[in-house]
Structure 1
Amino acid sequence: MPTDLAALVGSRICHDLISPIGAIGNGVELLALTDGGAGAEMDLISESVQNANARIRFFRMAFGAAGADQIVGPSEVQSILAAVAQGGRFIYDWQIAEDQPRRDVRCAFLMLQCFETAMPMGGNVHIDLSGGTWTLRAQGQRMKIDAALWDSLTNRHHQVDHKAAQVQFALLPDVLAEAGRALRLDLHEDRIVARF
């Protein structure tokens, strides 16, 4: 199997950024302690560091390399989703209580990014697993579904020129194939249901 350079690059970037962002967060905490209190500026910096840390953890799961034997626990996934959702537009309901193959979790995280693209106003996302089938349900107001993008997920012959903000659509079909999964989609005006 050829090396997935995109996933390795994603892993490397996330790995190299997580430590300095953590150090900035620690520095902000120390400043708050020695300064006697945190002002609005310190709160903004602290919130920005937490947000950046959460996004990098999410990106590491979605875009990083995932070996066939790697497993992810539910507490790690729930921690990442809770951090990303904090103060954001999305509420994530992860209903999977068992450890899962990282390749499957990677598929789910890329699908969550696809949902984000279609839901500019945010919304609720429910993720569960039953009988070996993952089901992700997204519901929100003013859904913005680009038919060509979504069709490219299930129709390999449908070519789309992806923008940087749409890279998840370009990656997901290959990641699903690597995990041995086939995607089924139900697209509606106010909701999307994805199964694999």
Structure 2
Amino acid sequence: MNDVTALVGSRICHDLVNPLGAIGNGMELLSMCHSALANSQETALIAESLSSATARLRMMRLAFGTATGGADIARDEIEGGLAGLYLAGRVSVRTAMPVSVSRPIAKALILAVMCAETALPRGGRLDVTVGQGQVRIAGDGPRIAMPSELWDPLTRTAVPEIALRPAEVQFALLPVAVTEAGCGLKLSRHDDGFAVEFYTLRAGSFHPPRPDI
């Protein structure tokens, strides 16, 4: 991704997160001043929507913003962001990862999850695993939809050549993020699910996943 484009993405997400935090603080003050609001359905709905919007922006900042420099991303931040992103949605996400993940790997991970979500049009489950030298996002659900024009280029760590819709931009960014993280990308499909995996090509770190049997 162009550095300027990534910085613009980071800036937009950063500037939108702050007002959402202010709204949350305002709701807390209102609940303290008016006890009837504290446990109302309206307040709960606003709080849930606010939490989801904040999580979505934080994940978008990580996925679409710059990944260079900075500290590693804590597991709690990634898990909390994914939980908020898919709260009460048609797709559930389970994670298993170390206490922190490097920023470039975290960026590629979030983009891979965003790609994987589109393959489950009727809902399903995504299992995100980071460890033993590879990142793996496995998906299963009642219906798997993986258009070849979007998914086949990923097997070559290549960007799709078709004109993408805004909801598909992650397919253009994932191969770039994986390459910038020094990784290779692997895609496997079977009757009731699929898996997206990436592994580092740099010496002394990750190792390629085992071939499918």
Structure 1-normalised TM-score? 0.90
Could you report, residue by residue, the CA deviation over 1:56-108 in whole angstroms, capped at 9, with x for unpaired residues?
Answer: 11111211211156411212212212222322222222211242211011111
Q: What amino acid maps onto 2:140 in structure 1?
A: Q
Q: CA deviation at 1:158?
A: 5.1
> 1:154, 1:173 within 8 Å by CA — same for their partners in 2?
no
Q: Which residue of 1 aligns with 2:80?
A: 79
Q: 1:131: Cα distance to partner? A: 3.3
Structure 2 letter corresponding to 1:40: Q
Instruction: Give the 3-state SS of the residue equivalent to 1:92 in structure 2.
Output: strand
- 2:22 maps to 1:23: yes
1:175 to 169, 174, 177: 177
Contact 1:139 1:190 in 2 (8 A): yes
Q: Equivalents in 2 of 1:61, 1:144: separation in Å?
A: 26
Q: Do structure 1's residue 142 and structure 2's residue 143 form an aligned pair?
A: yes
Q: In 1, Cα distance between the equivalents of 2:27 and 2:192?
A: 41
Report the secondary structure of 1:32's partner residue: helix
| Distance in structure 1 (CA, Å) of the matches to 2:160 and 2:123 | 27
Query: Is there any run of 5+ residues in structure 1 with no aligned partner, and where?
Result: none
- Identity of matched residues, %: 38
Query: After TM superposition, what 4+ stretches of structure 1 lie above 6 angstroms from structure 2?
Result: none
SS in 2 for 1:182: strand
Q: How does 1:43-62 map to 2 (within 5 A)?
A: 43-62=44-63
Q: Contact 1:69/1:101 (CA < 8 Å) preserved in 2?
A: no
Match in the other structure for 2:189: 187
CA distance in 2, matches of 1:148, 1:188: 18
Q: Does the alignment pair 1:131 with 2:139?
A: no
* d(CA) in 2 for partners of 1:147, 1:195: 17
Distance 1:149-1:24 versus aligned 2 partners, 3 A rule = same
Q: Which range is displaced more, 62-71 or 96-105? A: 62-71
Say if 1:36 and 1:16 are closer, same or farther in 2 by CA, change over 3 A. Answer: same
- Distance (Å, rounded) in 2 between the aligned partners of 1:165 and 1:157: 15
**Residue 3 (structure 1) shift:** 5.1
Deviation at 1:46, TM superposition (A): 2.0
Q: Give the root-mean-square deviation of aligned CA atoms.
A: 1.9
1:112 positional shift: 0.4
- Displacement of 1:22 in angstroms is 0.8
The answer to whether the 8 Å contact 1:152/1:169 transfers is no
Distance 1:102 1:34, change over 3 A: same
* Equivalent residue for 1:162, pick from 143, 161, 164: 164
TM-score normalized by the length of structure 2:
0.83
CA distance in 2, matches of 1:87, 1:159: 34
